[in-house]
Structures are given as structure tokens and as C-alpha cells.
Amino acid sequence: MATLLLDRAQLEVTCDGDSLAIYEGGKRRGSVPIKLLDRCVIQGAGTRLDSGVLLKLAEAGVTTVLLSPRMQRRVALVLGPAHNDAGVRLAQSQRVLDDEHCRRWARDLVRAKLRRQRRVLTQWQAARADARKPLVDAAAAIDRALESLQGLAVTQDLAQLRGIEGAAARAHFSGLAAVVPPALGFEGRNRRPPRDPVNALLSLGYTMLHVEAVQACQRSGVDPLLGYYHRPSFGRESMACDLIEPLRPQVDNWVWELLRDRRLRADHFSSDRGACLLGKAGRSIFYAAWAAESLPWRRWLRSFASGLARELRTAGDGLLTAMTDNDFGDEDR
């Protein structure tokens, strides 16, 4: 499945049977069969399309992502049909209120993330013998964080767990700083806005991964808003935030590979009022590489969300039955 990137001024998209016809400056530039698409990313401010196009994409299960032209952050999502299993969401809502369950889930999630960070650091050590010292130091810090996690009681609140995760993240990014080109100015994680090319790529990669997680939740029946580690908060898809945590180190490694192989270089970026922006040529490279690289991540997210939905459905069916037994039904009203 492919990603359609609409990233130029004066683009117009219309429906042409089961395909999308793409026009630029009034001239037809080609068409794309909808069945080949998994997502459509719109970043060009001048792109024009009507509701019929969005409807056609949604009906086909194609997620449409609208990104801010300047900040490259997600503004909106248009998703396809949702899974309408109310029992799953009832059980999920109950578990959100179960503090012990949430702490166990969070601890397992952070452990999985730290272990992947450790594996990525090992890969970087093998590839960059010249950066051995900072990478060994970063790996040792991750090991200490894992030991702290091992001794963390389930009764501990999430604040202590977040402290362990934060310390591991700082160590991990110090390792990344040791292997990316110094000229890129990466000294650690920053965002809103990202101030260097590495952080610009990390932010865009995490944004796209989050979109995949929301889509996986939507298709499986899990509510993307109700997270266990990332607690429910206004305007945040907290469960989607939960699901992507173990995959973040793999995105970090992929960003490093893009820069190592010089598929993306400093001249693909520009600066605008303190924000580092990936240019149009760079975005084409990024999204083409994302479509190829992200396939196993999408499969993992869909498998994990489906497994979570099956687990919740077992508990939710009983809750739903109890509720409907006391419901007179619409025909009696």
C-alpha cells in the first residue's frame, strides 16, 4: 500500500471512477487508483479537493492526514469507518480507572521501549567504532534505567516511572548525537518547534507513527483517546501515544540511516523564525522512504491493537449484556 503526498501549489484532486485524478495548474498530471493507497498526506496549502474525494478515500479505508504547511505538524485526520464494538470501549473505560492495571501496563510499555533503545545503541556501536565511548556510556545508562525499572513496585505512582523513562531517553539521544553529523547541530530532543534537522525528522516520524496508531485503534475498535500510561487528556489520543512508545527507538534508528546514507542532507532543510523545516524535495524523499520502512511497524500496531481489542471484548461483552438486559429498546419508547 502506498502514500499519496499532495505537496505542491495549484494542485486539484478529483474523483475519476475508482481513481483520483490529479491536476496542476489546470493540466492533468496523472491518476492514482484508490485501492493502492493506505494514506493520503496533504501539506500543500494550495491543494484543492472536494468532499467527494474525502468521502471516497474514507469509504476505502484510506486515512487522510492534513499537516500544517509551515510547522509540519498534524492538523487533522480523516479516517475511514470505525469498528462499532461498544463492549470493547466499555471495558477499556473501566480499565482506565483501574490504577493497578494502568501501572502494570505502563511498566511493561516502558520496559519494551528501553530494551529497544538498548538494541539500537548496540547497532550504532557496531556501525560507528569511532563513537564507542559515548555510545557505551549511553548503553550503561539504559542498563541502569532497566535495573531501576526491575525494582519498581507496581504500587509506585507513574511519576517515578516517567522519571526512569526520561533518564533513559536523555541517554539514548546522547547516543544519537554521537552518530549524526555534528554540522546538523543535534544536541538532544527539542520540539514545538524542532530547531535542527534531526529533531525535524524525529518529530515528523513520530507524527506519522502516531497516525498509524490512531488508524490501528480505529480499525480494531479500541478507543484511541483512552490511554493507560498516557492518561486521558483533552485533545490527545492517549492510547495511540501508548502504542507507539516501543517503536520510537526504531524511528530514531531510521532517521539516523536516512542521514547516514545522505538520502537527506542539510540542504534539504531551511530555518524559519527558529523552526527547522524540511523542504519540498526532502519531504518527497521522506514520505517515499516512510512508505517502505513503516510496513512492519504498521503490522505490529495493527496486531497489537487487535490483540488488545480481543482481550477487552471478553470483558466488554459481559458488561454490554448486563446493560442491554435492562434496556427496553427503541421499539418500546
Q: What's the rounded Cα separation, in Å, for the pair 172 and 121? A: 7
Q: What's the rounded Cα separation, in Å, for the pair 212 and 214? A: 6
Spatial CB neighbours of 92, under 8 Å, sequence gap ≥ 6: 222, 223, 226, 239, 312, 316
Nearest to 264 by CA among 276, 253, 255: 255
Which domains does the chain show, CATH number per domain?
A: 2-78 (3.100.10.20), 86-313 (1.20.120.920)
Average the pLDDT over 298-309 and give the result: 93
> How many Cβ atoms are within 10 Å of 144's Cβ, its own excluded?
14
Nearest to 117 by CA among 274, 245, 226, 296: 245
Helix, coil or strand: residue 233:
strand
Least confident of 54-68, 216-230, 233-247, 261-275: 54-68
Using DSSP bridges, classify how beta strands 48-49 and 11-16 pair: parallel, antiparallel or unpaired: parallel
Average the pLDDT over 230-238 and give the result: 88
Tens of pLDDT, residues 240-291: 999 999 999 999 999 999 999 999 999 999 988 888 989 889 988 998 899 8
Per the DSSP assignment, residues forming a β-bridge with 3 are 39
pLDDT, residue 323, reads 57
Mean pLDDT rounded to a whole number for the chain: 87
Cell of 146: 532497566
Which residue is listed with cell 513503516?
294
Q: What's the rounded Cα separation, in Å, for the pair 253 and 19? A: 35
Using DSSP bridges, classify how beta strands 2-6 and 37-42 pair: parallel, antiparallel or unpaired: parallel
Band (pLDDT 50/70/90 cuts) for residue 69 is: low
Which residue is listed with cell 479500541?
222
Nearest to 176 by CA among 193, 162, 190: 190
